[in-house]
Amino acid sequence: MSGATTSSIAPGAASRAAPPGAAPSSRRRSLWAWAAIAGLLVVVGGAGAALSGLGEWSERDVLDPESRGPDGAAAVVELLREGGIDVVIARDRENAREALATASPATLVTADSPLLSDDTLRGIVDAATDVVLIDPRARAVEIVLPGALSEGFAPDAPVAPECASEVAARAGEIVPGRLLQPGTAAGLTACYPTGGGYGLLVGESATGGVASALDGREIVINSALAQNGNAALALGLMGRLPTVVWYSPGVDDADIAAEPTLGELTPGWVTPAIVVLAAAAVAAAIWRGRRFGPLVVEDLPVTVRASETMEGRARLYARGRDTAHAADALRIGAAGRLARMLGLGRAADVHTIADAAADRTGAPRARVRSLLVDDVPGTEKDLVAISDGLDDLERAVRAALRDEGATR
């Protein structure tokens, strides 16, 4: 503490110029920072687009007859073909109608698709002998089984058929998924009652065949086909006739006008306002982000020695006769030095430091703790005694550590 510490840079430092390469180096760092930000934005945008695309493809593969993923339906198609059923996969309405007409009688397997209008879906359904609806949403249920309804979902537990359908009786228990209601439809067979609805509805198709509706997302998909009686039920409903036409419409087969884009829905003033705001943001970034040149070194006018600061603080304590505060200051400094000598961490409390010092010096723990924590000086004489005791303790610890190092 006897040496001088300065709070400023030596006089004359202000006259020293910054290194010649400082400004170009700063500019390069700034350019690299902006490049890193731009690269990060590109990566985040690309990752978001990829995740969005993955979500779209995952939804697109649900109940797809050629998808071998968990939500696809390739497994039931293979089982039908192994059983001697000719399975035709149609991706557009013309192929579906042609296949149904050529292979009549044939079974149409399809899911409700928002890409098709009611008339288009009804026309394809009416061209089939048997119809199996594997995504029974309200619109498609009304078309396949007029008067029937789709509402609610079944509890996640197996349900027995409890109906007169031979196919359902042979299949046994299933976990239905989406529930159906006969509604005003006449002559329907309702199977798998649970949760106030039914897991399967079977009735007569428009051409005199069999029309049925069930939740294929819980029964027909690859990951669920081997559970309970799912495979037997699916094969029994789809394999009644020698040909199955599986119609899975794509985007190109849509006949519904595209929804208006966001740009068409927003008022005309929105785009110019966004452009102005973006230009203002860029201008603000350039204005606030510009550099004024390299930093220069500037010396401060006052140099204060550490010893003067210590003596001035001591005079203040003496003048105020604040012996307790002065003792605390002495103890804090001594505890920090002891902790460093003993190899204790910065988080060590004063009791831990006192016990470690007592163990190294062989002094009573109570005495060391009183010296570092408990004793409260009432007079200046007591304060001097604490100061001397702290000095003796530090010397003792230092000597003990020196002796230990010599004996190793």
Q: What share of the chain is helix, strand, coil (3-state, %, to 5)?
A: 50, 10, 35
Asked, for residue 296, whether it belongs to a domain, the answer is no
**Do 247 and 171 fall into the same domain?**
yes
**Do 103 and 225 fall into the same domain?**
yes
CA 216 – CA 135 distance, rounded (Å): 6
Of 253, 274, 291, the one marking the end of a domain is 253
The one-letter amino acid at 197:
G
- 244: three-class secondary structure by DSSP: strand
What separation, in Å, do the N-terminal and C-terminal C-alpha atoms of the chain show? 32
Structural domain for 391, as ranges:
306-407
Asked, for residue 372, whether it belongs to a domain, the answer is yes
Asked, for residue 210, whether it belongs to a domain, the answer is yes
Asked, for residue 117, whether it belongs to a domain, the answer is yes
What pLDDT, on a 0 to 100 scale, did the predictor assign at position 365? 84
What pLDDT, on a 0 to 100 scale, did the predictor assign at position 166? 94
What pLDDT, on a 0 to 100 scale, did the predictor assign at position 47? 60
**Do 194 and 80 fall into the same domain?**
yes
In this structure, are residues 200 and 228 in contact, taking their beta carbons and an 8 Å threshold? no
Asked, for residue 292, whether it belongs to a domain, the answer is no
245-262 tens-digit pLDDT = 999 987 777 775 556 677
What pLDDT, on a 0 to 100 scale, did the predictor assign at position 142? 93
Q: Which residue has the tokens 């105020």?
A: 320
Q: Which residue has the tokens 């199955």?
A: 244
**Do 225 and 327 fall into the same domain?**
no
What pLDDT, on a 0 to 100 scale, did the predictor assign at position 368? 84
Asked, for residue 179, whether it belongs to a domain, the answer is yes
β-partners of residue 151 are: none
**Do 196 and 100 fall into the same domain?**
yes
Asked, for residue 2, whether it belongs to a domain, the answer is no
Q: Which residue has the tokens 């005079």?
A: 315
The burial class, CB within 10 Å (0-12 / 13-18 / 19+), for 200 is buried
**Structural domain tally of the chain?**
2
Of 214, 229, 253, the one marking the end of a domain is 253
**Do 79 and 198 fall into the same domain?**
yes
CA 377 – CA 331 distance, rounded (Å): 12
**Do 91 and 223 fall into the same domain?**
yes
Contacts of 216 (CB under 8 A, 6+ apart): 63, 73, 111, 134, 135, 234
**Do 230 and 83 fall into the same domain?**
yes
What pLDDT, on a 0 to 100 scale, did the predictor assign at position 299? 72
CA 202 – CA 311 distance, rounded (Å): 100
HEC profile of 323-383: HHHHHHHHHHHHHHHHHHHHCCCCCCCHHHHHHHHHHHHCCCHHHHHHHHHHCCCCCHHHH
CA 115 – CA 132 distance, rounded (Å): 19
**CA angle centred on 280, ends 278 and 281, rounded to 5°:** 65
What pLDDT, on a 0 to 100 scale, did the predictor assign at position 53? 47
CA 186 – CA 171 distance, rounded (Å): 24
**Do 116 and 215 fall into the same domain?**
yes
Q: How far is CA 138 from CA 15, 244, 401, in A?
A: 85, 24, 86
What pLDDT, on a 0 to 100 scale, did the predictor assign at position 397? 85
Handedness of CA 99, 105, 111, 115 (dihedral sign): positive
**Do 225 and 97 fall into the same domain?**
yes
Of 230, 253, 276, the one marking the end of a domain is 253
Q: At what angle do helices 118-126 and 93-102 cross, to 10 degrees?
A: 20
Which segments in the chain show pLDDT lower than 50? 1-23, 52-59
What pLDDT, on a 0 to 100 scale, did the predictor assign at position 198? 95
Show the tokens assigned to 51.
């995740």
**Do 312 and 230 fall into the same domain?**
no
**Do 105 and 208 fall into the same domain?**
yes
What pLDDT, on a 0 to 100 scale, did the predictor assign at position 7? 36
Asked, for residue 297, whether it belongs to a domain, the answer is no
CA 323 – CA 329 distance, rounded (Å): 10
